[in-house]
Amino acid sequence: MLWLTARAVVRPLSSPRLLNCLSMPHCHTPRNFGSETEVVIALGSNLGNRVQNLTEALRLLEGARVKVLGHSCLYESAPVHLEDQPFFLNAAVLAKTSLSPTVLLDLVKSIELDLGRDLSNNAMRWGPRPVDLDIIFYGSKRVHTERLAIPHERWHIRDFVKAPLANLAGLQCCEGTDVQSMLAEASRLWQEEGGEALIGSRQLRRVMPFGNELLEFGKCTKVMGILNVTPDSFSDGGLFNTVDLALAQARCMVEEGADMIDIGGQSTRPRADRVPAEQEVERVVPIIKALREEPKLQNILISIDTFYGEVAKEGVRAGAHIVNDVSAGKLDRTMFRQVAELNVPYVMMHMRGNPQTMQQEENTTYRDICKEVGEELQCSVEAAMSTGVLGWNVILDPGIGFSKTHAGNVQLIRGLKRIWHEGLSGTCQQMPRLLGVSRKGFIGTITEKKDARQRDVASAAAAVACVAGGADIIRAHNAGFTRDAAIMADAIYRKK
């Protein structure tokens, strides 16, 4: 199902409807500057650019003193009641606001009108709409008036609402809130009815926006080809640092089965010298533009591998679809803001320290590596979401080879499922997972191959173990070997 690429539209809160709704006369305390209350709001759309509609609705909410704390994943669902209409995209957010329930209702209805929804008496009750916003919970408050019912009267009978609510129930930012018990009840109902077993059918599937389409993970492993345009990367430095060489390598990887190309202009091998953002832009932007103009690569997703917010911005402007950040926002405080504004998929990798310090003992020591890596990723993701990064845009990478010993890398791969189920919770458990094991040093140690380019067979074997542990995307230098390995791993480990 195709849709136009959604770029963030930062728009001031200027609509008269949106401004006026904050000072309605029926509110006893206009603008209600009292204490803040946690609320849960469900979002849906089935007309126009559905992803952009949801994104814009959230931005308008945030512009009216509704602070979003966390997001669910994104779900596509078949329409109910009136079946002859497009499929819906659905999500939910946990937020806090000082607005009263009535003023909040006025706000969400104003946003619906501003984004083109027909709220007149002539509109079909169950008909298509650009955006649909529902207040599901407002703290522990119960409201029953002619205009408003809280909790929402039908939340418990709709799978496309319960699935997002179950995501929110496991977020750390939910703990200790007034809505925690109600979200826990939603999660319990969802699990009793089947939970994850209900995801993946025509009626309800979990999706992520990539370029011009929505991708569903869990059925087929994707291969991300590595294209380093650097002079000093550990296995291919200097081999592809011109436009012609990079194009030739990209074509080769796509012919071998790569679904994505990850372009890096800075080596992140241990103790590598840091390149300034300006130099990184000079290296990667011409390559990205050339790939986007290459007829044979029009359907390939392009990722920009950087920890600089400025490079991410310039890379996406040049045509990249994905930002791949080895630091999960820790090495550049502008990264979260940039990714939020770019509104593209964002790979968040686990790493302690930086490439110069990550292999020091204090950064490679863990009590329980699988659980701690998951917990630290969870903290990074929730920080990103509170800064505006959409939860349904996040991909997780446990960071094989980064701030881990050789033995730690093996333990991490062996215990991948423990990361997802013990270290992570809520929305983070359901996010797509990327693993990069290709030609890493621990593979050289185990196989006794000093030349990194001789590690491709062993890397493919490690990729199979990663798929068995739940990986959705494998990042690889040799796309052909990895594609074949992923096909076999899918046949053995993926549910049909």
> Cα–Cα distance between 341 and 250 in angstroms, integer?
28
> Cα–Cα distance between 7 and 29 in angstroms, integer?
37
Class of domain 218-493: alpha beta
Q: What is the pLDDT of residue 240?
A: 67
At residue 70, φ and ψ (nearest 5 deg) are -160, 155
Is 50 exceeded by the pLDDT of residue 3? Answer: no
Bridge pairing between strands 37-45 and 260-264 = unpaired
Is 80 exceeded by the pLDDT of residue 495? Answer: no
> Cα–Cα distance between 189 and 248 in angstroms, integer?
52
Q: How confident is the model at residue 231 (pLDDT cuts 50, 70, 90)?
A: confident
The pLDDT of 109-114, averaged and rounded, is: 95
45 bridge partner residues: 89
Q: Is 40 left (phi over 0), alpha (psi -120 to 50) or beta?
A: beta
Question: Catalytic residue positions?
Answer: 440, 475
Is 60 exceeded by the pLDDT of residue 106? Answer: yes
Exposed/middle/buried for 85, CB within 10 Å: 0-12, 13-18, 19+?
Answer: middle
> Cα–Cα distance between 90 and 44 in angstroms, integer?
4
Is the Cβ–Cβ distance between 165 and 156 less than 8 Å?
no
Residue among 77, 44, 75, 78 nearest 58 (CA): 44
How is domain 16-207 classified at the CATH fold level?
Alpha-Beta Plaits (3.30.70)
Q: Token pair of 5, please?
A: 């690429």
Cβ neighbour number for residue 458 with a 10 Å cutoff: 20
Is 60 exceeded by the pLDDT of residue 164? Answer: yes
The pLDDT of 57-67, averaged and rounded, is: 94
Who wins on pLDDT, 154 or 303? 303
Who wins on pLDDT, 191 or 10? 191
Q: What pLDDT, in 10s, does the model give residues 378-391?
A: 999 999 999 999 99
**What are the domain boundaries of the chain?**
16-207, 218-493
Q: Token pair of 81, please?
A: 């009641």
> Cα–Cα distance between 436 and 412 in angstroms, integer?
12
Q: What percent of the chain stands above pLDDT 90?
A: 79
Q: What pLDDT, in 10s, does the model give residues 318-354?
A: 999 999 999 999 999 999 999 999 999 999 999 999 9
* C-alpha 204 chain-centroid distance: 18
* Cα four-point dihedral sign 464, 467, 471, 476: positive
The verdict on pTM exceeding 0.75 is yes
Residue among 344, 279, 288, 268 nearest 310 (CA): 279
> Cα–Cα distance between 49 and 55 in angstroms, integer?
10
Q: What is the pLDDT of residue 232?
A: 53
Q: What is the pLDDT of residue 27?
A: 35
Is 90 exceeded by the pLDDT of residue 183? Answer: yes
Q: What is the pLDDT of residue 152?
A: 94
If DSSP states are collapsed to H, E and C, what string results for 72-116? CCEEEECCCCCCCCCCEEEEEEEEEECCCHHHHHHHHHHHHHHCC
Q: What is the mean pLDDT of the chain?
A: 90
The pLDDT of 94-114, averaged and rounded, is: 95
Cα torsion through 176, 178, 181, 184, rounded to 10: -70
Q: What pLDDT, in 10s, does the model give residues 437-479?
A: 999 999 999 999 999 999 999 999 999 999 999 999 999 999 9
Is 60 exceeded by the pLDDT of residue 73? Answer: yes
Q: What pLDDT, in 10s, does the model give residues 48-58?
A: 999 999 999 99
Domains 16-207 and 218-493 share a fold: no
Residue among 236, 316, 226 nearest 262 (CA): 226
Q: What is the pLDDT of residue 119?
A: 81
Q: What pLDDT, in 10s, does the model give residues 264-323?
A: 988 887 877 788 999 999 999 999 999 999 988 988 999 999 999 999 999 999 999 999
* Cα four-point dihedral sign 147, 153, 171, 470: negative
Q: What pLDDT, in 10s, does the model give residues 8-48?
A: 333 444 455 444 544 443 333 333 335 899 999 999 999 99
Q: How confident is the model at residue 118 (pLDDT cuts 50, 70, 90)?
A: confident
